[in-house]
Structure 1
Amino acid sequence: MLLGWLLFCVTFYYAWRFLGRDNPWPRRFLSGVGRIAGARVKVVGSKPDVAFLVSNHSSWLDVPVIAGATGSAFVAHDGLAQFPLLRRLCEMNDTVFIARGNRASVAGQVRQVRQALHDTGMLTVFPEGTTEAGDALLPFKSSLLSALDPLPDGIAVHPLWVDYGPETRDIAWIGEEHGVANFLKIMARNRPLPVTLHILPALAGEALANRKSMAAAAQKAIEAAMAGARA
C-alpha cells in the first residue's frame, strides 16, 4: 500500500512541477503515510499561517503526522542527507538540512531556513536532536534555532506537543532499536493510533530574545502541557 501510494504521489508531484503550480503532493504523501500507519490526528489550538514549530520528538511518525495536519516542512540534521532516496524525498518536501557543528555554513543555513519559511509558511524543528520515550523531554538544543536569531519579522514561534497518549511508549523509537524495526513495529499494528497535536501559544517577550531563550521557553511550555495532562 505504501509503495503504491508513493508511486501515485510522485507521478502527480512531477506533473504539478511540470505545470509550474504550487505542489501539494509531498504533504499529501506524508499525510497518507500517517493514515496508512494508523494515525488518527486531532489538532488542539489554532494553526498559524506563518510559524516556526518547536516540537518534541518520539517517532519517525511525527513527521507525517505534523506535515499532514499543518502542511509543515522540516529542519533536519544533514546526516539524513547521506541516503540518496531519503534525501530526495526530504527535498521534495522542502526540508532544510543543517550541518551541526559547521560554523562556516551557518550564514547559508540561515538563508535556507528563512527562504523555506517564505516559500512554505511553516517549518518544524525537533530540538531534542533524537527521539525519546515521550514521558519526559530530552534537553532542547538551540543550534537548530540559529536561523531565528534574531527573529525575522512576521514569524511566530509556537511550541508543539505531539501526544500519542497511552500508546507513546509502544511506538517510541528509543535506545538501540533499529529504525527499520521501529517502522515495521508501527506498521504491524492492527488498531488506530490516536495522536493529538497541541499547538501551544506563541512565545513572546523575553522568550524571543535569542535562540537559547526560545529553546528553553519551548521546552518549558511543552513540559507544562504534559504535566497538565497527567494531573
Structure 2
Amino acid sequence: MRLWAVLAVVLAATAVGLPVQWLALKLGLPLRRWIPVLYHRLLLRLLGVRVHLKGAPAADRPLLLLSNHASWLDIPVIGSLTPLFFVAKSEVAAWPLVGLLAKFQRTVFVDRQRRQATGSVNREIAERLHAGDPVVLFAEGTSSDGNRVLPFRTALVGAVREAVASAEAVTVQPMAIAYVRLQGLPMGRQHRPAAAWFGDMELAAHLLDVLRHGAIDVEVSFGAPLVLDAAHDRKQVTRDTERAVRTLAAASLAGR
C-alpha cells in the first residue's frame, strides 16, 4: 500500500509540476529556479531519504561544484539543496525517471559525439553561471558503487572553464555524497547497493528497493573552495578537488 501511495503522489506532483515548470521556463519566471527544489524535497520525503549537510555551497560566483556520483538518488539529493543545474551526457535525457528529473532540473545535456555543438552548449552553461546558479558536475563521468570515488575527468572541468572564459575566475568547490545509514543503522559495504545505482542495475527494480527499504540517510559534505583562473592549471585543480572529495567521502563512510 505504501508503494502505491508513494507512486500516486509522485505521479500527481509530476503531472502538476511539469506544466508549471514548462510555463515558468518559457516566461523566464524566477519560480523556474525553485520549482525543482520543492519537487525534489517532496520526492525525498516520500522515499524516506534524509539529507544531512556538512558545510554549505560557497557564496562566490560563478560556482562549479565537483561531486562524486553513486546513484540516481544523487539528483534529487543535490537538487533539493538550492537552485542549481547539472551538466550531463546526452544519453541521460532518454533514461526513464532519471532523464525526467534531469530535465526538470534544467540540466544542460552534452553530446560527446557532436563536437560542433560544443559552442552552443558552452554558451548555455555560461548564461546559467552568469545568472548566479551553481553548476554541478559528476566529475567521474559515471556512477560508482558508493564505496569509493573514481578518478575525476579533467576534460569535463575544462569544458566548463571554457564556457565562462569571459570570467576572470571560477570558484571550484568539492562536494561529496555518501549514503551512510539504512533504517537508522550504519550502512556497510554490503548494504550500499540499497542506495547506490551503478553498473547494469535495472532502474525500476532499484527504485522499488528504495521504496521498500526507506529510511536512507545521506551526507552531503562541502570542502574548501578553490580558484580556477588563467594562472591555475585545470588539471591540478581537478586533482586537488578529487583528493578533497575522496577525503570527505571517506570521513562520512567511516562515520567520522
TM-score for both structures, normalised by structure 1: 0.85
For 1:89 and 1:205, the matched residues in 2 are separated by: 29
Q: Deviations over 1:78-128 (max 9, x none)?
A: 112346986565344221111225433333322221112223511111011
Pairing 1:157–2:160 present: no
- Confirm or deny: 8 A CA contact 1:10 1:25 kept in the other structure: no
Q: Deviations over 1:150-209 (max 9, x none)?
A: 76335311110012114334211123211222222112224x211111011112479x82
Pairing 1:48–2:58 present: yes
Alignment match, 1:223:
246
Alignment match, 1:196:
219
**Pair 1:224–1:2, CA change in 2 (3 A):** same
Structure 1 residue identity aligned to 2:160:
A
Question: Alignment RMSD, CA only?
Answer: 2.8
**Pair 1:143–1:17, CA change in 2 (3 A):** closer
For 1:83 and 1:65, the matched residues in 2 are separated by: 18
For 1:136 and 1:86, the matched residues in 2 are separated by: 22
Q: Deviations over 1:35-67 (max 9, x none)?
A: 222111121113224321100111000000101
Gaps of 5+ in 2: 1-8, 181-185
Structure 2 residue identity aligned to 1:179:
L
Tell me whether 13-22 or 217-226 shows the greater mean CA deviation: 13-22
For 2:54 and 2:250, the matched residues in 1 are separated by: 16
TM-score for both structures, normalised by structure 2: 0.77
Pairing 1:6–2:18 present: no
Q: Equivalent residues in 2 for 1:161-176 (5 A)?
A: 161-165=176-180, 166-167=186-187, 168-176=192-200
Tell me whether 71-80 or 210-219 shows the greater mean CA deviation: 210-219
- Confirm or deny: 8 A CA contact 1:100 1:143 kept in the other structure: no
Alignment match, 2:208:
184
For 1:18 and 1:126, the matched residues in 2 are separated by: 27
For 2:84 and 2:153, the matched residues in 1 are separated by: 20
In the TM superposition, residue 32 of structure 1 has moved relative to its aligned partner by 1.7
Name the SS of the counterpart of 2:217 in structure 1: strand
Q: Choose the corresponding residue for 2:73, options 61, 64, 68.
A: 61
Structure 2 residue identity aligned to 1:200:
G
Gaps of 5+ in 1: none
Alignment match, 2:139:
127
Name the SS of the counterpart of 2:117 in structure 1: helix
Tell me whether 15-24 or 29-38 shows the greater mean CA deviation: 15-24
Alignment match, 1:118:
130
Q: Percent identity?
A: 26
Q: Equivalent residues in 2 for 1:62-81 (5 A)?
A: 62-81=74-93
